[in-house]
């Protein structure tokens, strides 16, 4: 008689085996309170200052009257909040496919606007979709930061804790292509994109010699665009319907940049000695607003310059912030953005995986660098260029993109295994990632 193996009966009263670690992470995780606090503070400042800076848009005969601009802005903030709440609940491990979808959509929108977009301030910048103004440049910057994080993570060299040449070259090519699409809308966006990519390469562990080579290539490309990036637009730049006259030594967008740089350098005279004309009235009224604010400001709603300053609610809202709240308020806003960068850097340095670290630092530098560019332009440290103040300036595309970036950072803080996490949590995170995205974070604190 043959021997048979006796299999013990299954105890149906006990639950089937599961993978507790993964669900444990999701159940116990909490989004970062610091990032949440910064988001809420920026939204509150945005509501107050947008209302103060929108006097030029008020239509007292409209249905909403003087509250029209504020109600529209609240609606955009609510949409942004909804997107952020949804994204922060999605594990960052599932972002790979949506990133490529966003990249393709952003490039498609950008190509469309280059040929068929509406001309605003001398360049094709936006298009209208069902009554909503879309600025593809904002989405292009977001998709560039996300795809660079993805590419460098996939090309992470686990032996040297660096990035393979292929990853560095592909990231630099992304910047070159996206920068070429952005350059017609303004030099600042392209410089911003270069700064974002360099910061992400540093965090990703790219060797210094490679960083130097990339920096030299970026400088050469910028020089080529400045020398040969001319081109005429089909309509003149306007502010409030009046043409903005640029100096005529050169033609096209690169001529506009050159003229603005020369005007920023000045002729040695103090700014207050210059006459206000169509070329300089934005920066001159911005300087007056900041001077009027003093140390403690005139309080929100009492701004003197908001009625005269073109684009007070968008590209120059920081001037109104300082006029309303003074030097103290301006410093508070600056500290909020720097706090965001510091907090994101802290999270990135504690992430176990390089992909999560690059995602959180990429989103942070995109927001913070744009804010610093805006402040530098408004305060006169940099030549005039259009850059909204993230989450504070009026603008649907900017608010949506900034909210998505906050959602990505919160998703990483919620779902990534940070330094000191339990072994099963680290294992669960690794198993939830594709094999080519499991590289260890080279900046992780031990």
Alpha carbons 141 and 216: distance in angstroms, whole number? 21
DSSP structure class, residue 434:
-
> Which one of 16-20, 271-275, 401-405 scores highest in mean pLDDT?
401-405
DSSP structure class, residue 349:
H
Handedness of CA 337, 342, 347, 353 (dihedral sign): positive
DSSP structure class, residue 208:
H
For residue 441, name the pLDDT band (cuts at 50, 70, 90).
confident
Torsion angles phi and psi, residue 19, rounded to 5: -105, 85
Name 238's bridge partners: 243
Alpha carbons 68 and 46: distance in angstroms, whole number? 15
Higher pLDDT, 300 or 35: 35
CA distances, 220 to each of 174, 203, 209, 213 (Å): 16, 24, 17, 11
Please write the tens of the pLDDT for every residue from 283-322: 888 899 999 999 999 998 888 888 788 878 888 899 999 9
HEC string for the chain = CCCCCCCCCCCCCCCCCCCHHHHHHHHHCCCCHHHHHHHHHHHHHHHHHHHHHCHHHCCCCCCCHHHHHHHHHHHHHHHHHHHHHHHHHCCHHHCHHHHHHHHHHHHHHHHHHHHHCEEECCEEEEEEECCEEECHHHHHHHHHHHHHHHHHHHCEECCCCEECHHHHHHHHHHHHHHHHHHHHHCHHHHHHHHHHHHHHHHHHCCCHHHHHHHHHHHHHHHHHHHHHCCCCCCCCCEECCEECCCCCCCCHHHHHHHHHHHHHHCCCCCHHHCCCCCCCHHHHHHHHHHHHHCCCCCCCCCCCCCCCCCCCCCCCHHHHHHHHHHHHHHHHHHHHHHHHHHHHHHHHHHECEHHHHHHHHHHHHHHHHHHHHHHHHHCCCCCCCCCCCCCCCCCHHHHHHHHHHHHHHHHHHHHCCECCCCHHHHHHHHHHCCHHHCCECCCCCC
Please write the tens of the pLDDT for every residue from 215-264: 999 988 877 776 665 444 444 444 444 444 444 444 455 666 667 777 77
For residue 277, name the pLDDT band (cuts at 50, 70, 90).
confident
Please write the tens of the pLDDT for every residue from 43-88: 999 998 887 877 655 554 455 556 777 888 899 999 999 999 999 9
pTM of the entire predicted model = 0.85
Mean pLDDT score of the chain, rounded to an integer? 82
């Amino acid at each position: 008689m043959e021997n048979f193996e006796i299999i013990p009966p299954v105890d149906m009263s006990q639950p089937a085996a599961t993978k507790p670690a993964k669900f444990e992470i999701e159940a116990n995780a909490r989004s970062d309170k610091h990032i949440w606090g910064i988001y809420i503070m920026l939204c509150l400042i945005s509501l107050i200052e947008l209302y103060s800076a929108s006097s030029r848009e008020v239509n007292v005969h409209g249905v909403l009257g003087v509250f029209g601009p504020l109600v529209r802005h609240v609606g955009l903030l609510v949409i942004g909040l909804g997107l952020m709440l949804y994204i922060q609940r999605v594990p960052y491990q599932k972002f790979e496919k949506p990133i490529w979808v966003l990249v393709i959509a952003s490039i498609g929108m950008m190509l469309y606007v280059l040929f068929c977009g509406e001309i605003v301030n001398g360049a094709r910048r936006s298009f209208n979709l069902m009554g909503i103004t879309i600025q593809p440049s904002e989405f292009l910057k977001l998709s560039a930061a996300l795809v660079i994080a993805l590419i460098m993570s996939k090309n992470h060299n686990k032996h040297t804790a660096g990035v393979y040449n292929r990853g560095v070259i592909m990231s630099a090519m992304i910047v070159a292509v996206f920068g070429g699409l952005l350059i017609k809308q303004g030099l600042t966006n392209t410089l911003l994109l270069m700064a974002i990519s360099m910061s992400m390469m540093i965090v990703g562990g790219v060797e210094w010699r490679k960083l130097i080579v990339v920096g030299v290539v970026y400088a050469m490309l910028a020089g080529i665009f400045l020398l040969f990036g001319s081109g005429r637009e089909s309509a003149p730049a306007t502010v409030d319907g009046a043409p903005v006259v640029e100096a005529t030594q050169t033609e096209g967008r690169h001529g506009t940049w050159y003229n603005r740089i020369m005007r920023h350098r000045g002729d040695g005279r103090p700014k207050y000695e210059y006459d206000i004309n169509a070329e300089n009235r934005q920066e001159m009224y911005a300087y007056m607003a900041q001077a009027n604010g003093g140390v403690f400001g005139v309080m929100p709603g009492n701004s003197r310059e908001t009625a005269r300053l073109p684009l007070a609610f968008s590209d120059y809202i920081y001037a109104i912030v300082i006029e309303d709240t003074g030097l103290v308020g301006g410093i508070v806003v600056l500290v909020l953005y720097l706090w965001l960068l510091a907090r994101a850097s802290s999270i990135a340095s504690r992430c176990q995986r390089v992909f999560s670290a690059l995602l959180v630092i990429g989103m942070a530098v995109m927001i913070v660098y744009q804010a610093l560019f805006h402040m530098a332009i408004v305060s006169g440290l940099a030549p005039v260029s259009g850059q909204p103040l993230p989450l504070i300036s009026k603008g649907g595309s900017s608010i949506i993109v900034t909210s998505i970036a906050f959602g990505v950072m919160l998703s990483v803080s919620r779902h990534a295994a940070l330094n000191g996490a339990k072994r099963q949590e680290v294992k669960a995170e690794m198993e939830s990632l594709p094999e080519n995205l499991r590289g260890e974070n080279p900046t992780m604190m031990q």
